[in-house]
């Protein structure tokens, strides 16, 4: 799945922004990744408590993949059917 996504996006740098919640509040985890020889390498990792801090840490021309991992995300189990 990751390979399919990476083939649709131009460039070799990516950001991943994961938004999580805990009893202390929201947290924003930012990863900067570099694609090299078909593999992703971690360039930088930062955690923020305020979303407004992130634009100063990212470059506009690098795409950001958003991950929502909060208590408001709905989950649904699907039974596997025969292929």
Check: pTM over 0.85? Answer yes or no: no
Do residues 51 and 28 touch, judged by C-beta distance below 8 A?
Answer: yes
Taking 90 as the threshold, does the pLDDT of residue 2 lie above it?
Answer: no
In a domain, 49, yes or no: yes
Instruction: Please write the tens of the pLDDT for every residue from 22-64.
Output: 888 889 999 999 988 878 899 999 999 988 998 888 998 888 8
In a domain, 62, yes or no: yes
List the one residue out of 31, 5, 2 whose CA is nearest residue 18.
Answer: 31
Domain residue limits at 43:
2-69
Instruction: Please write the tens of the pLDDT for every residue from 10-26.
Output: 788 999 999 988 888 88
In a domain, 74, yes or no: no
3 pLDDT band, cuts 50/70/90, is low
Q: What DSSP assignment string belongs to 17-79? A: EEEEEETTEEEEEEEEEEEETTEEEEEEEEEES-GGGSGGGS-TTS-EEEEEESTT-------
What CATH number is attached to the domain comprising 20? 3.30.420.40
pLDDT for residue 4: 56
């Amino acid at each position: 799945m990751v390979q399919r996504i990476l083939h649709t996006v131009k460039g070799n740098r990516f950001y991943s922004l994961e938004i999580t919640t805990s009893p202390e509040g929201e947290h924003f985890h930012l990863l900067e990744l570099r694609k090299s020889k078909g593999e992703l390498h971690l360039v930088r990792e930062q955690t923020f408590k305020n979303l407004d801090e992130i634009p100063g840490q990212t470059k506009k021309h690098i795409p950001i993949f958003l991950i929502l991992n909060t208590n408001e995300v709905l989950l649904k189990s699907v039974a596997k059917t025969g292929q």
